[in-house]
Structure 1
Amino acid sequence: MMHHYRSLRALLLGVPCLGLATPAPLSAETLQQALARAYRNNPTLTAARAGQRALDENVALAKAPGRPAAGIDGSFTEQLHRQFPDSTPRRNISGQASLSVPVYQGGTVRNRIKSATEGVKAGQQDLRATEASVFAAVVAAYMDVIRDTSVVAYNRQNVASLETNLQASNDRFEVGDLTRTDVAQSESRLALARASLQSAEAQLIASKENYIALVGVEPENLEAPPPLPGLPPSVDQAVATALSDNPDLLAAEHSRLAARHDVNAAKGLVSPRLSAVASGSYTDYLGSQDNGGPLAGTQFAPDGAVKAASAGVQLTIPLYQGGQPGAQTRQSIARESQAIENQIAVERSVIAQTRSAYAAWQASLHTIESTRLAISSGELSLEGVRAENSVGTRTILDILDSQRDLLNAQVQYVTAQRDAYVAGFSLLAAMGRAEAADLNLDTGGPLYDPTVNYERVKGKLFDFDFGSPAAPQASRTVDTAPQSADGGSVSAN
């Protein structure tokens, strides 16, 4: 197994060579830089962070019903017609203030806070999963550009070689050394090679555009990716790590715990509720009462105002609520059952993903070794067939077949290199080890910590604390140039 790890390490250090001898330019882009850009600017990731901040507010929302509530009502009334002028003031202004302090809510508030807290923890794990997913897409896009750049180069070399071969075939046909059939075979292979080159160039353009969509900038001179850290020595160890660290599985566990607290909150709806209440009122007739009427004298205070205040406790004992508490409890129990089953389903999926990624990684390593041998043998075969053709023991078709086989081996080789790195990173993602902290990224600042916002908002009390206005975080790509199959050469390590 350590042999496989050393093979992968050597592979990853030599990915961009791919048969090209382009020196590394000073302005080359590294995979770490691409991942750091995506970490700062990818809209999927920045949107997930905003969604998590919205989820954090559920805890404050759950706490609100357990906090005091105060309010003031005010009114001004002008009597347009008074049937009894002596007993009805012309106008009045009144106000009432009330305060209610929940003392006991049957446990509903407490359990809703616990449920919201578990929901926040689940969201934090979902954010980890989103980060790993975005990084996996960036790694795949990065390796796609490297692979497709090499595939285009191989196809261009093949077209140039077939053009030379066609010219030589025409020259030999002119002197009667070859037949028209030989020339036609060369022309046919050249036409197919040009078509393959066009397809390869279109694929390279698509890969570059996908890279821009994920990273936000154009791919320029992509360097060799570094070795992947922490690849497991066995599939059993990979699965064990995934079962303890996979963010999807941890999120499912927190969702199950949240569902359990929702059940307890629903049961609390049948419990008595106790609150402390206080109120005060003030009414002023603004001197509009008639002096000689029955309102004069002791009916009003000397300043023409009436004041009142009261305080006490309020006990509410639910007797019948139309079956709502029972229905909500049964619904919450069903959702808890659903969360339990979802956790098992996620566990199954994580195990399958981890084992599949490990198998794909191992298969790609073997494919690399096989195609490397195929390239070496294909180069020797093509050289030998050309030599034998020069003495008349091989046909033009034999040369064309050997050249086609060599091209196929070269394309399979660079594809296997890409697949090995992507499968290795997917394995790390399934294990919960493919995030910025695991990859030691230099993001130009501290890593995003979702607990910072949660700690900041979970205890906020003020109604008028609205926070900062929304503003875009991700960068746009409207100013990037349309990509072509030229430029952006891959550097050798």
Structure 2
Amino acid sequence: MRPLKTLLLSATVLTLATPSFAATLEDAIMKAMETNPEVLIAERGKEAIEQELRQAKAGYLPTVDLTIGSGHERSNNTTTRNRADRQDNTGGHRSLWRNEARLIARQMVFDACETCHNVDQQEYRLESSMKNTKEVKENVSLRVVQAYLDVLRNQELVKLAQDNVDNHKKYLKQIEARSSSGRGSKADIRQAEGRLALAESTVYAAKGELKNAKATYVQVVGEKPEDLKAFKAPVEMLPTSRDEAVERAMANNPAIHSAKYDIRAADSAHRATKSAFYPRLDVELEANRAQNLDGTSEANNSYLAMARVSYNLYNGGADLARKRQQFARLEEAKDTLERDRREVEERMYEAWNDLETAKMRLKPLASHVSSSEETKKAYKSQFDIGQRSLLDLLDTEVEYFNSKTAYINGKYAVDFAVYNVLTTSGDILLAFNK
């Protein structure tokens, strides 16, 4: 029983220690959203702006400051001089150990709406950051889709290349058998061996591309691809026309929404600079307690309730320059929006054209595969009865391999093009219910 228990325990530990790998595209997307550094950076940036918003809102609340001090004080004033005239000849100086404490509560009453504009600015910045985070997630999702498709595509290409090698090996054996029976030549064997070597080199190249695809997958998703499942692209989510696709992108693309909020944030920042040209009103409550103050060895306590108006009369033109600076930032934000609109429109045109091109190419590519496969079978039959040369047969094998390779690449190009359109229109996360 002890060996059995040990075996079961070891199996349990191995099961728990085995990392989980994403098997579906949805799993890969979820994993990337949790671990991809670009997504995490965007999330942290949003969290930082949330705290900046809290800082701005603090301007509505009172501030309470406590100051405590203790130290040596040497005084020479009317009080100390009168004391010196009456008691001793100290020259009017007196040294005491001074202790003091001050508590001030200050509440802003009027700041020409500087605080409210600062709050508005941070709220708009937060909205912009949220849209930017969505854009990052969509772009990362598209990269996950591409990495996922590349792994599947290269796996198919490796299998196709290996099948091609197997076929060439069969031909070589057949040629060797024909040569042994006197129906073939050494030249045919050498030719078959050369084509086999070329086919084997293609396998190595395909495996290298697969390794690269898996490395990209790890970089984007954060884990190794294992047993990836095929999926169907959500073509039902696509717009019905290019114009509708562009219209949807203009309405939904997060980059455009982020730029719009940046304009509002810049406008609020510009409005906040105008408060510098108005007075500020604060209400202050102050309590002071002191001992040995100004040469008097007695307690000195005071309590104040004040309304204070502060108004800057001149600071070298800094306020005016700051106002002009924020106005320039506002115009910059407007120009950025226009740039983003044009870029999104261009990207959608390109994405839609890529989709249409990929779809149109797929049918001829499939026809090429079918035709080359039929030709290969026909040539094989003719070769067996001596009506076709070995070179003809090997050429048809190469043509079939190339046609099948082109079809596999074209098939996955269509799937990627679908997700590329959905990304540009701001809808890719909806395809995964994110």
Both structures adopt the same fold (TM-score exceeding 0.5): yes
Distance in 2 of aligned mates of 1:28 and 1:331: 50
Residue in 1 aligned with 2:304? 310
Distance in 2 of aligned mates of 1:131 and 1:217: 18
Shift, 1:209, TM fit:
2.3
1:414 aligns with 2:420: no
C-alpha RMSD of matched pairs (Å): 2.6
Shift, 1:425, TM fit:
0.8
1:177 aligns with 2:171: no
Amino acid at match of 2:339: A
SS in 2 for 1:77: strand
Residue in 1 aligned with 2:348? 354
Q: Is the 8 A contact 2:114 2:275 kept in 1?
A: yes
Q: For residues 204-259 of structure 1, give each alpha carbon's deviation from its aligned partner in whole angstroms, at most 9, with x where no partner exists.
A: 11212222222233222222214415111111111111111110111011111111
Ranges in structure 1 where 5+ consecutive residues have no aligned partner: 1-26, 442-493
Q: How does 1:271-282 map to 2 (within 5 A)?
A: 271-282=278-289
1:232 aligns with 2:239: yes
Distance in 2 of aligned mates of 1:401 and 1:91: 106
SS in 1 for 2:237: coil
Q: How does 1:49-448 map to 2 (within 5 A)?
A: 49-78=43-72, 84=90, 88=94, 90-228=96-234, 229-285=236-292, 304-435=298-429, 437-440=430-433
Distance in 2 of aligned mates of 1:40 and 1:371: 39
Amino acid at match of 2:251: S
Q: Is the 8 A contact 2:158 2:207 kept in 1?
A: yes
Distance in 2 of aligned mates of 1:325 and 1:176: 101
Aligned length: 401
Q: Is the 8 A contact 1:42 1:215 kept in 2?
A: yes
Q: Is the 8 A contact 1:28 1:223 kept in 2?
A: no
Q: Which moved more, 1:390-399 or 1:348-357?
A: 390-399
Distance in 2 of aligned mates of 1:72 and 1:194: 81
Amino acid at match of 1:111: H
Distance in 2 of aligned mates of 1:256 and 1:107: 19
SS in 2 for 1:277: strand
Q: Which moved more, 1:381-390 or 1:225-234?
A: 225-234
Distance in 1 of aligned mates of 2:274 and 2:402: 67
Shift, 1:345, TM fit:
0.9
User: Quick one: structure 1 residues 28 and 92, their matched pair in 2 at CA, closer, same or farther if it must change by over 3 Å?
Assistant: closer
SS in 2 for 1:355: helix
Distance in 1 of aligned mates of 2:40 and 2:22: 26
Q: How does 1:31-46 map to 2 (within 5 A)?
A: 31-46=25-40
Q: Is the 8 A contact 1:243 1:249 kept in 2?
A: yes
Q: For residues 70-97 of structure 1, give each alpha carbon's deviation from its aligned partner in whole angstroms, at most 9, with x where no partner exists.
A: 2111112246999949963542311112
Distance in 2 of aligned mates of 1:193 and 1:137: 31
Q: Is the 8 A contact 2:22 2:225 kept in 1?
A: no
User: Quick one: structure 1 residues 256 and 79, their matched pair in 2 at CA, closer, same or farther if it must change by over 3 Å?
Assistant: closer
Of 21, 29, 32 in structure 1, the residue corresponding to residue 23 of structure 2 is 29
Shift, 1:68, TM fit:
2.1
Q: Is the 8 A contact 2:22 2:226 kept in 1?
A: yes
Q: Which moved more, 1:321-330 or 1:165-174?
A: 165-174
TM-score scaled by length of structure 2: 0.85
Shift, 1:144, TM fit:
0.9
Distance in 2 of aligned mates of 1:78 and 1:274: 36
Shift, 1:125, TM fit:
0.5
Identity of aligned residues (%): 23
Distance in 2 of aligned mates of 1:234 and 1:81: 88
Shift, 1:408, TM fit:
1.2
Amino acid at match of 1:201: K
Shift, 1:28, TM fit:
8.7
Q: Which moved more, 1:199-208 or 1:212-221?
A: 212-221
Distance in 2 of aligned mates of 1:283 and 1:212: 67
Residue in 1 aligned with 2:84? none
